[in-house]
A and B are shown apart, each in its own frame.
Chain A
Amino acid sequence: MSKTTNIMIAGVGGQGSLLASRVLGALAINKGFDVKVSEVHGMSQRGGSVVTYVRYSEQKVASPVICKGEADFLLCFEQLEVARWIEYLKKDGVLVTNTQKMLPMPVITGAMEYPEGIIEDIKAKGVKVIDLDALSLATEAGSSKAVNIVLIGAFARFCEFTKEEVEECIKSYVPAKFLDINLKAFELGYNSAV
């Protein structure tokens, strides 16, 4: 079962991580892999911490979920979520993260503090980290909602799929009227992940 590739997506409800996981799932099925995508619906989606899993393999994928130390890729849509989910990254895995900060309610109310220097701390552990300001890039592309596609762009540089394959897959998943914005977001994400 060691040949399964595990991609974990962590974000804040409303950021579009569900669409990202569906694009990645479609990408894998297009290449003939067996695929499982595990999603989160309902209450936790309302601005809460949300994780989705994408697993694919040439063999049959059994479990739909990813556990600690198993993720080949951890895609974080927000900085604090890196701290929350880093345990899930495999020792030689790649972290792709948005540097955006979204304050959770306990921080807004002053009950807790948002930790400083999360990404630096993670880098210091020797983790391969691709960090980018996906919100600015998405805004540059034309919509702050395209953060998910910017991050897929960054991921595309490191995954086993070609840039064109990922691009084609995005085309089949986003509505036609937002296609230009999303393709630009993808390009910006791809180019800033170096």
Chain B
Amino acid sequence: MANKKLMLGNAAVARGLYEAGCVYVSSYPGTPSTEITENAALYEEMYAEWAPNEKVAFETALGASIAGARAFTAMKHVGLNVAADPLFTASYTGVNGGFVIGVADDPAMHSSQNEQDSRHYAIAAKLPMIEPSDSAECLEFAKAAFELSEKFDTPVMLRLCTRVAHSQSIVSLSDREEKGLKEYVKNPQKYIMNPGNAVRRHPIVEARMEEMALYAATSPLNRIEMGSTKIGIIASGASYLYAKEVFGNNASYLKLGIVNPLSADYIKSFAQKVEKLYVIEELDPVIETFCKANGIDCEGKSVLPITGEFSQELVAKKLLGKEEEHYTYEGNVPVRPPVMCPGCPHRGLFYILKKLGLTVLGDIGCYTLGGAAPLTALDTTICMGASVSGLHGFNKVRPDSAGKTVAVIGDSTFMHSGITGLIDIAYNRSVSTVLVLDNHITGMTGHQQNPCTGLTLKNVPVDPVKIEEVCAAVGIKRVRITDPNDIKATEAAIKEELAADEPSVIIVRRPCALLKKVNYGCKYQVDSDSCRSCKMCMRIGCPAISFKDGKATIDSTLCVGCGLCSSMCNFGAIKKVQL
């Protein structure tokens, strides 16, 4: 039992990296991939870092691979879009030390802005992609990915989905195998991808994928499990588990560990053994389309949805028409959407933005919650960095509304891809006002360090990147700093900068209320006698404040003592209580 452990899928990937002798890990946080890198950082033998964005992370890991190390980078599905540029060309260069790219998809969008299927990237970039189903496979596949990478001279993509990344199951641990550095030999034909060399590399890539398709037919990463031959099921990842839960031995399975490339001969050999063939795959019909293109008769998206997450319930219902008996509750149940935490420093700012009636171009982070009631102060959320660049375009075609339009972007997101948008504003002169919401941490993904926080992933103190200096350096002359909990001063600053006829940045600075170092040392209570029931305090949408018997009341278990509500009250009814 000593070497068996209950482990999160992401932690198991990290363990696999460790056991495989990986020495270099660089990533940008993104749910559901974040814990791979957080766990990798716990092993002294591996260097691990948070890079400013996925493209940088990818390129640093590729650099480490070319230098001869086993290297790894992790990202969420949309992060792969950011890293797509080096991805496609790394396919041409191949590797020196093994290079593995972890990518975590988020079917059902538990914490994402879209539901893209990253298998398309593997196909488009002509890279092998393998997909584990549980933590034990996360560990084993991470190790196998390095072997494949070095054997076939290719980066290997390791695909997870939320239910694999964020489920714990039992893993068996082994010792680490030190690999050291492979020799680095200058090889321009392989690593300088100018047209002349790339033209010669492309056929090598195509030959490699053909060779890998042959390998897929015999690889232990794929397996056939024969049960009843009435139904055959092709599945990978979590979908395989749902199918297994529903059908048990009443079906046969082709469990695909290698999801790209697929072997038509191998799939045909399985299809011939079963009467009715289903492809059970979340998101897009990738395997199904391949089967049909190769004349393999199967059913998939005609019965199963193309959107959302699967479950045993869904598979049983769609394929067998079976449903479990269950209780029901007849009443109307209010939804409970995520909200800004009590004490969140973004709350005061979004109150002001709504009050001023501004058009607000948003970004990716906790402040996306500023779009929810009662603040409802957001107009757009697209992707990392799109607030700043979007504002530039918006203001260029609507110069009249520049005085009523702002961008909001967090400190980590600004480092990720806000700076380039700001350079566009400075260089191409749009009269734009950008608000950088500096809460000293990467918040939504669960508190990761970033270049502005002064600590690395391994908690080494470093000089923080100063946002104000970056803004000045790219040519923004009007840069100022405000405290979002000082509503009057922040409101005045926003009005002034919107009125200015040149670009400006306001750094709205206060640390995340969930940071351990933040302790207000007090709570607030409502003095019912002074409360005039005006509901001003309700406008900030703090989950700790509600109305009871016609008066405001504060839930003392939720209140963290930020005092924003007190500054909203015109009658002094919200009073500080020292702890």
Asked if B167 is an interface residue, CB under 8 A from chain A, the answer is yes
Closest beta carbon of chain B to A96's beta carbon, Å = 15
- Among B35, B170, B324, B331, the residue within 8 A (CB) of A35 is B170
- Tell whether B229 is near chain A: CB-to-CB under 8 Å: no
CA of A112 to CA of B374 in the docked complex: distance in angstroms?
13
Interfacial chain B residues near A83, Cβ < 8 Å: 329, 331, 333
Q: Would you call A174 an interface residue if the criterion is a C-beta within 8 Å of the partner chain's C-beta atoms?
A: no
A46 contacts B369, C-beta separation under 8 Å:
yes
- Known A-B contacts A25-B168, A69-B325; A103 and B546 likewise in contact (beta carbons under 8 Å): yes
Chain B residues near A12 (CB, 8 Å)? 336
- Of residues 63 through 122 on chain A, the ones whose CB sits less than 8 Å from some CB of chain B are 63-65, 67-70, 80-84, 86-91, 102-109, 111-115, 118, 121-122
B481 at the interface (CB under 8 A from A): no
Chain A residue at smallest Cβ distance from B5:
A29
Please indicate the chain A residues that have their CB under 8 angstroms from the CB of B169 in the complex: 34-37, 61, 64
Please report which residues of chain A, range 31-77, place their CB below 8 angstroms from some CB of chain B when the two chains form the complex: 34-49, 61-65, 67-70
Q: Given A29-B170, A109-B541, does the pair A115, B333 have CB atoms closer than 8 Å?
A: yes
A65 and B341 alpha carbons, distance in the complex (Å): 27
* A45 to B547 alpha-carbon distance, docked (Å): 24
Q: Quick one: given A37-B6, A41-B35, are A108 and B336 in contact (CB under 8 Å)?
A: no
* Given known A-B contacts A69-B326, A115-B332, A37 and B338 have beta carbons under 8 A apart: no
How distant is the Cα of A63 from the Cα of B444 in the complex, in angstroms?
27
Name the contact of B334 in the complex, choosing from A35, A61, A107 (C-beta under 8 A). Answer: A107
Of B6, B332, B538, which is in contact with the most chain A CB atoms at under 10 Å from its CB? B6
- How distant is the Cα of A80 from the Cα of B331 in the complex, in angstroms? 11
Q: Interface size for chain A: under 10, 10 to 19, 20 to 34, or 35 or more residues?
A: 35 or more
Interface majority SS (helix, strand, loop, mixed), chain B: loop
Tell me if B341 and A14 are in contact (CB < 8 A). yes
Per-residue contact bits, chain B 302-331, to A (CB 8 Å; 1 contact, 0 not): 000000000111000000000111111111
Across the interface, do A39 and B167 meet the contact criterion of CB distance under 8 Å?
Answer: yes
With A1-B245, A26-B6, A83-B333: A48-B339 Cβ-Cβ less than 8 Å: yes
CA distance A172 to B331 in the complex (A): 41
Given the complex, which residues of A lie within 8 Å of B339, measured CB to CB?
46-48, 105
Q: Assess whether A108 is in contact with B331, with CB atoms less than 8 Å apart.
A: no
- Residue A127 interfacial (CB < 8 Å): yes
Contact B324 A67 (CB under 8 A): yes
In the complex, the answer to whether B446 meets A42 with C-beta atoms within 8 Å is yes
The answer, yes or no, to whether B134 is at the interface (CB within 8 Å) is yes
- When distances are taken between beta carbons in the complex, the residues of chain B under 8 Å from A106 are 334-335, 337, 373
B231 interface hit (Cβ, 8 Å): no
B312 with A63: CB separation less than 8 A: yes
Residues of A within 8 A of B32 (CB): 41-42
Interchain CA distance A25-B241 in the complex, whole Å? 19
A135 in contact (CB, < 8 A): yes
Query: In the complex, how many angstroms separate the beta carbon of A138 from the nearest chain B beta carbon?
Result: 9
Is there an interface contact between B312 and A65, defined as CB atoms closer than 8 Å?
A: yes
Give the distance to chain B from A48, nearest Cβ to Cβ, in Å: 4
The reply to whether the CB of B423 lies closer than 8 angstroms to some CB of chain A is no
Q: Tell me, in angstroms, the Cα distance from A26 to B169 when the chains sit together.
A: 10
Max chain B Cβ within 10 angstroms of own Cβ: one of A12, A49, A65, A87: A65
Nearest-Cβ distance from residue B216 to partner chain A, whole angstroms: 24
B residues less than 8 Å from A91 (CB atoms): 325-327
Which residues on the A side are within 8 Å of B330 (C-beta)? 121
A36 touches B167 (CB 8 A): yes
Max chain A Cβ within 10 angstroms of own Cβ: one of B163, B167, B558: B167
Task: Give every chain A residue within 8 A of B337 (Cβ-Cβ).
Answer: 48, 104-106
A13 within 8 A of B: yes
Give bound CA distance, A71 to B328, whole Å: 14
Is the CB of A144 closer than 8 A to any CB of chain B? Answer: yes
Closest B residue to A88 by beta carbon equals B326
Give the complex CA separation of A107 and B446 in angstroms: 27
B327 touches which of A103, A105, A111, A125 (Cβ 8 Å) = A125
Q: Does B372 contact A (CB under 8 A)?
A: yes
Residues of A within 8 A of B335 (CB): 49, 104, 106, 112
Contact B373 A109 (CB under 8 A): yes
Chain B residues in 8 Å Cβ range of A113: 332, 334
- With the chains together, A22 CA to B6 CA distance in Å? 9
| Chain A CB within 8 A of B31 CB | yes
A13 (CB) vs chain B CBs: closest residue = B338
B374 touches A25 (CB 8 A): no
Nearest residue (CB) in A for B248 is: A1
Q: Is the CB of A41 within 8 A of B324?
A: no
- Residue picked from B333, B339, B547, B558, most chain A C-beta under 10 Å: B333
Beta-carbon contact of A46 and B6 below 8 Å: no
Contact between chains at A42 and B31 (CB < 8 Å)? yes
Q: How far is the CB of B269 from chain A (nearest CB, A)?
A: 25
Bound together, the chains give a CA A43 to CA B333 distance in angstroms of 21
A68 touches which of B238, B326, B372 (Cβ 8 Å) = B326
B110 interface residue (CB < 8 Å to A): yes
Indicate if the CB atoms of B170 and A34 lie closer than 8 Å.
yes
Task: Write out the residue numbers on chain A whose beta carbons fall within 8 Å of the beta carbon of B4.
Answer: 29
Separation of A87 and B325 alpha carbons in the complex (Å): 9
Beta-carbon contact of A35 and B336 below 8 Å: no
Q: Counting chain A CB atoms within 10 Å of each CB, which of B245, B369, B445 scores highest?
A: B245
Q: Does B557 contact A (CB under 8 A)?
A: yes
Cα separation A118 to B329 with both chains bound (whole Å): 9
CB of A63 within 8 A of CB of B338, answer no
Cβ of B478 within 8 Å of any chain A Cβ, yes or no, is no
Is B570 part of the contact surface with A, judged by Cβ < 8 Å?
A: no
Given the complex of chains A and B, what is the CA–CA distance between A41 and B373 in angstroms?
Answer: 23
Chain B residue with the shortest CB-CB distance to A117: B331
Which residues of A are found within 8 Å of B312, using beta-carbon distances? Answer: 62-63, 65, 67
Bound complex: CA of A127 vs CA of B313, how far in Å? Answer: 22
**Bound-complex Cα distance A34 to B325 (A):** 26
* Contact indicator B167/A42 (Cβ below 8 Å): no
B541 and A43: CB pair below 8 A? no
Contact with A along B150-168 (1 / 0, CB 8 A): 0000000000000110111
The residues in B between 101 and 119 inclusive whose CB is less than 8 angstroms from any CB of A are: 110-111
Interface residue? B543 (CB, 8 A): yes
Also in contact, A40 and B336, with CB within 8 A (given A46-B366, A64-B241, A135-B557): no
Are A42 and B111 in contact, with the CB atoms below 8 A? yes
Complex Cα–Cα for A29 and B48 (A): 30
In the assembled complex, 24 residue pairs joining A and B whose CB atoms fall closer than 8 Å, in A order, are A37-B167, A41-B446, A42-B31, A42-B446, A44-B110, A44-B338, A45-B338, A46-B341, A62-B244, A63-B242, A63-B311, A64-B164, A67-B313, A69-B324, A70-B313, A80-B336, A82-B329, A83-B329, A106-B373, A107-B546, A108-B374, A108-B541, A118-B331, A135-B557
Known: A12-B336, A64-B238. 9 other contacts (CB 8 A): A26-B6, A37-B6, A40-B110, A62-B242, A87-B326, A104-B335, A107-B546, A108-B545, A115-B334
Chain A residues near B (Cβ < 8 Å): 1, 12-14, 22, 25-26, 29, 34-49, 61-65, 67-70, 80-84, 86-91, 102-109, 111-115, 118, 121-122, 125, 127, 135, 144
